[in-house]
Chain A
């Protein structure tokens, strides 16, 4: 779609040749000019002008191409929720990505200008540019996977949380339903309070046989409670290979050792604490007469925290834009650094001699002198961002694709990715062209101004 070269070449041709010359020598010069321009013009005509005109024409026709539908495709474009989402996302991209890239590039360039080993650092920051966008997309998709075993970002988060959090013995365990046990806020408790001298059993499920500690033994009925005691058993209510009756201590069901058990009195205070034996039995002792609720506190069962759902619909745009910045900040840095190295250092020196601090030097001297380069970088990035395709096509998993959609991807999906509606696809392509044009014009203008200077 790039039409940048066409405009300056034609205009320049106008200026140098002027009116058609009448002399034989002038005519020969014209012929030579045409001969030299012809290949470029033919290529541009075939590869740029003709496709653009055809796309405009096609955008007024239906999906099959047989029926003239006027502006219907353009109406659909702004009313269909998925295309509208794509246009909105493109807007977010244009606002965020070029500014972030340019700003980061400027910071890197200015800071690296002052340190040793600058080339090495520049190389590292520039290196992502050498990776194909598709490969970078695959890398970022893996890096941000929700499963901490795959995604490195979540692995780091989980590792940090594990250091500060307690790991429990039986993560994810839950009570067997309909056995007189209930759960609330992660803790498992008896449904009804029990009186001292009675028994409260806890049949649990959701624990793998392989996760039961080696010390565990066959579960047993707790000895009947003595005075001031409540007893019971905490066991895994699943027999390896199936069988047994739910909620009963059968052959093959293992006790769960090391579970903390608490007796809670009517006022909500912990009256006694115990820990289960290898056969799953516990004895809460030293209790006053009365009724207590026996609970297994949540700390026994807290599951390891899972990762953040980076690739979910709410965070997906952030992830994709961040990966874009990772790649293109290097480009901005190299461009700005080259502008910086061409600067007249005496101005900065003069300012420092006059007592300006580094911030003032940057604000008043360096930044204004770099402005032409910064604007070129910025406008180039805007054009680049409007056309973004690869990262958005690769990174989002199925559920986040609509949330991450942009115009170029929507154009592909609608026309070739299964939608088979090349009328609507053409309309989207025209929209993209119209959006890119202003930046193109700005760039062309700047080129001309610089030549005049």
Chain B
């Protein structure tokens, strides 16, 4: 979440909206075929409003997706970027009785709140069957409230990617590992070769929450993950002890983990691994790390900057921690539902897939359309995962999961400075969680 926020540049709304109907068939969008199911739908004269937080290049690409819908159905779709304050702006629009027909939300929490308040409608009929055909159960559950499906997860992100400098791995004779023990063995090989195994950047704390979530999802399993996400089990639970102990063993080993994590920013870790004078072989963070490699180093993603999936723990199946953007409908008009059905189709996602910078959670998207091997590999890990879970700290109250200098961020920073204090860390986490959930 944080990184995408920094990456985006707010540009004024394209005032023209989507007037240029058939004219925008450029840049590959025109070759795409619309899904057969909506081929016969005639929406001439219908105008639909759709809003999300995408702006800039993401907005352009999303408008290409919408163009395909307009060409097929004859409807006019106006896109509005609501910027980073999407929750506030939507709330104001709802109070004024003028919400968009469809909104694409960055957080499941907002979706649940809108559903609980009765502001969005559950999917039925063709739209519902399109979701059921194209998405795995984890993604459907993530967009559901009380058994009703509300969300179409149009965009996804994969935060279970471990990035490595292939030159250093080659020099040390290390290979992408299968599981946690293999992971530690490979890091030891890199340490033997004179580099730190992995560079960890505490930054203000958020990268450490992603670390914990990946380890916890694998060591404790998805059911426990859900319970901890909702604070139904305390942070003093033995399953948390196990996950923190695994991290403690890695982070307290000064050969495997580069010391000084508490003061290192996330972009600095990328430079430690992929810069001109690398000191470490590996760095963990989500798929957006590829952007940092391209922007801040001379390494090339796909050549000497590669990634492997976060290693399995306790024989866990392929699991991914990530994020995503879900489309929700504010009414059940024919046009709105046709648009939701369209967004759930692989054809809609493939328009943006070809444009790049996009990962679709839709399992029927043709992955050969991704523009390069790395983005294809990221997407295959995302849709191929047996288990997908949303970033836990993004689901928590922000006092716990999103505050600089406090909550989970700071407690995990203290933990990486003093990785032996597992019990004290758990007590601090539980105290912070209890007070945040009590608010």
Contacts and interface: CB of A to CB of B under 8 A. Distances in A.
B180 to A, nearest CB: 20
B192 A419 contact: no
A380 interface: no
A418 B262 contact: no
Contacts of B417: 399
A64 B439 CA distance: 7
B398 interface: yes
Given A208-B195, A238-B192, A240-B171, A398 B406 contact: no
A421 B438 CA distance: 12
B263 interface: yes
Nearest to A173: B194
Interface stretch (A217-225, A226-234, A370-378, A400-408): A400-408
Contacts of B405: 82, 401-402, 405, 409-410, 413, 417
Given A397-B265, A398-B205, A419 B403 contact: yes
Contact of B410 (A238, A402, A420): A402
B263 A399 contact: yes
Contacts of B194: 172, 205-209, 211, 238
Contacts of A240: 171, 173
Nearest to A309: B263
Contacts, number: 105
B398 A241 contact: no
A283 interface: no
Nearest to A239: B173
B439 A418 contact: no
Contact of A413 (B189, B205, B403): B403
Contacts of B265: 397-398
Contacts of A419: 398-399, 403, 406
Nearest to B416: A399
B410 to A, nearest CB: 6
A311 interface: yes
Contacts of A400: 262-263
B404 A417 contact: yes
A148 to B, nearest CB: 12
15 contacts: A82-B406, A205-B191, A205-B192, A209-B193, A209-B194, A309-B260, A312-B263, A397-B263, A398-B203, A398-B204, A398-B413, A399-B414, A402-B405, A418-B406, A420-B399
A399 B262 contact: yes
Given A146-B260, A207-B194, A209-B171, A418 B403 contact: yes
Nearest to B400: A418
Contacts of A311: 263
A15 to B, nearest CB: 48
Interface residues of B, number: 37
Best-surrounded residue of A398, A401, A418 (most CB of chain B within 10 A)? A398
A400 B410 CA distance: 10
Given A239-B173, A243-B173, A419-B403, A398 B192 contact: no
Nearest to B277: A149
Interface of A: 62-64, 82, 146, 172, 176, 205-209, 211, 237-243, 309, 311-312, 397-402, 405, 409-410, 413, 417-421
A241 B406 contact: no
B202 interface: yes
B100 interface: no
Given A146-B260, A205-B192, A398 B402 contact: no
A410 B406 CA distance: 10
A121 B414 CA distance: 44
Contacts of B170: 241
Contact of B404 (A172, A176, A413): A413
A63 B205 CA distance: 24
A279 B169 CA distance: 26
A418 B263 contact: no
Interface string B72-105: 0000000000000000000000000000000000
Best-surrounded residue of A146, A242, A309 (most CB of chain B within 10 A)? A242
Contacts of B255: 206
A287 B264 CA distance: 51
Contacts of A146: 260, 263
A239 B195 CA distance: 14
Contacts of A242: 172-174, 189
Contacts of A309: 260, 263
Contacts of A409: 405
Best-surrounded residue of A311, A405, A419 (most CB of chain B within 10 A)? A419
Interface in B152-182: 170-174
A398 B260 CA distance: 11
Contacts of A401: 204, 404-405, 410
A398 B202 contact: yes
Contacts of B399: 418-421
Contacts of A420: 397-399, 439
B171 A241 contact: yes
Given A309-B263, A401-B405, A421 B173 contact: no
A198 B195 CA distance: 34
A311 to B, nearest CB: 6
B407 interface: yes
Contacts of B416: 399
Nearest to A418: B403
Contacts of B406: 82, 413, 418-419
Best-surrounded residue of B205, B263, B407 (most CB of chain A within 10 A)? B263
A205 B202 CA distance: 28
Interface in B183-206: 189, 191-195, 202-205
Interface string B378-417: 0000000000000000000111001111110110011011
Nearest to B203: A398
A206 B173 contact: no
A241 B403 contact: no
Contacts of A209: 171, 193-194
A84 B417 CA distance: 22
Nearest to B206: A398
A224 B191 CA distance: 32
A275 to B, nearest CB: 22
A206 B192 contact: yes
Contacts of A205: 191-194
A62 B399 CA distance: 14
A300 to B, nearest CB: 15
A399 B402 contact: no
A243 B192 CA distance: 12
Contacts of B192: 176, 205-206, 237-238
Contacts of B191: 205-206
Given A398-B202, A399-B413, A399-B417, A417 B403 contact: yes
Given A63-B439, A421-B439, 17 more contacts: A205-B191, A206-B255, A238-B193, A240-B171, A241-B173, A242-B189, A312-B262, A398-B262, A399-B262, A399-B414, A399-B417, A401-B204, A409-B405, A413-B405, A418-B403, A419-B406, A420-B398
**Pairs of residues from A and B, 8 with the lowest C-beta to C-beta distance, nearest first:** A242-B173, A399-B262, A418-B403, A208-B194, A401-B405, A205-B192, A397-B263, A398-B204
B195 to A, nearest CB: 7
Interface in B286-315: none
Contacts of A176: 192
Nearest to A170: B194
Nearest to A398: B204
B192 to A, nearest CB: 4
Contacts of B171: 208-209, 240-241
B112 to A, nearest CB: 18
Contacts of B264: 397
A237 B189 CA distance: 11
A237 B191 CA distance: 12
Interface in B238-267: 255, 260, 262-265
Nearest to B402: A418
Contacts of A64: 439
B205 to A, nearest CB: 6
Nearest to B259: A306
